[in-house]
Every structure is written in C-alpha cells, then in structure tokens.
Amino acid sequence: MQEINKNLHLSSDFRLVEFTRSSTADRLGIDNTPPQDVIDNLVWLCYYILQPTRTAIKRIIHINSGYRCDKLNKAVGGQPNSFHKQGRAADIHVKNIEEAKELAPIFARQEFCDLVIIEHIADKFWLHVQMNKIKPRHRITYA
C-alpha cells in the first residue's frame, strides 16, 4: 500500500489526521489509513461542508470520528453501511444540546450536506454530518 501523509491538508483548516485518528484503532492495532477514493470524498466533505461552516462560525471544529475502515467500524459498533467507511461523514464535537441546535442548521444548509443527526449518550453530544454529492436533502434529525 502507498504511504499516505497523515498531515495532508484536505482544506485550509482540516488535515487528514483529524479524520483517521482513533484511540480504538490504536488500542486494537488497526491500520485506519484510507484509500485514495476515500481521501477524495474527505476533501469534498471538507471543501463543501466543513470548511464553509468553520468559516461561517469563526471557531475550530473538532472531529470526533471521521473515516473508519471496515475493521474499525465493526470495533466501534458502527452501522455496516456507515458513511464513515466511505469518507462521506464526520462526527463533530459539540459542548451541549444548545450548541448542537445552533450548529446543526449551519451544517445542513451547506451545498452537499445530506443529513445532520444530533446524537448523544447521557450528557455527551455530537453532530453526525454526512454528504451526498448527487441529491442532498439538507435534513436535521435527532437520535
């Protein structure tokens, strides 16, 4: 496999390492290096959804989970058809439900944003943001 530069810039404010790091992958010795087609999707995700949102809100966006290879996706209990496996989704850290409700519509109105899911476990919140290059729905939902 070709060596991938994890510091590769996907857009002006996002690097590949933000989408591939995983404590679960580290703990289990899983290589979470994406193939080129996934990197291409991550560039699209950053360029058309994440970067415009970051520019609009003028604050750092922290990626909790980006790309997941099949083995990592199974290890974290992800859906078998997860958009994370294709580089077409990212989970974004938010402080609380108020911040989630503030940011969700900003993500959702970006050109190729398909779906924003406000997710939580107890008092830990995040936004699942996914893209669709063909027919984005610009939907917000809760999990």
Domain with 95, as residue range(s), is: 16-142
Please indicate, yes or no, if residue 47 is contained in any of the structural domains: yes
Tokens of residue 84, six digits: 């994370």
Mean pLDDT of the chain: 95
Domain annotation covers residue 26: yes
Residue 8 lies in a domain: no
Q: Does some domain include residue 7?
A: no
Q: Is the pLDDT of residue 1 over 60?
A: no
Residue 10 has pLDDT above 80, yes or no: yes
Query: Tell me, what CATH number does 125's domain have?
Result: 3.30.1380.10
pLDDT per residue as tens digits for the range 11-49: 999 999 999 999 999 999 999 999 999 999 999 999 999
Residue 78 resides in a domain: yes
pLDDT tens digits for range 94-137: 999 999 999 999 999 999 999 999 999 999 999 999 999 999 99
**Is 137 contained in some domain?**
yes
Domain count along the chain: 1
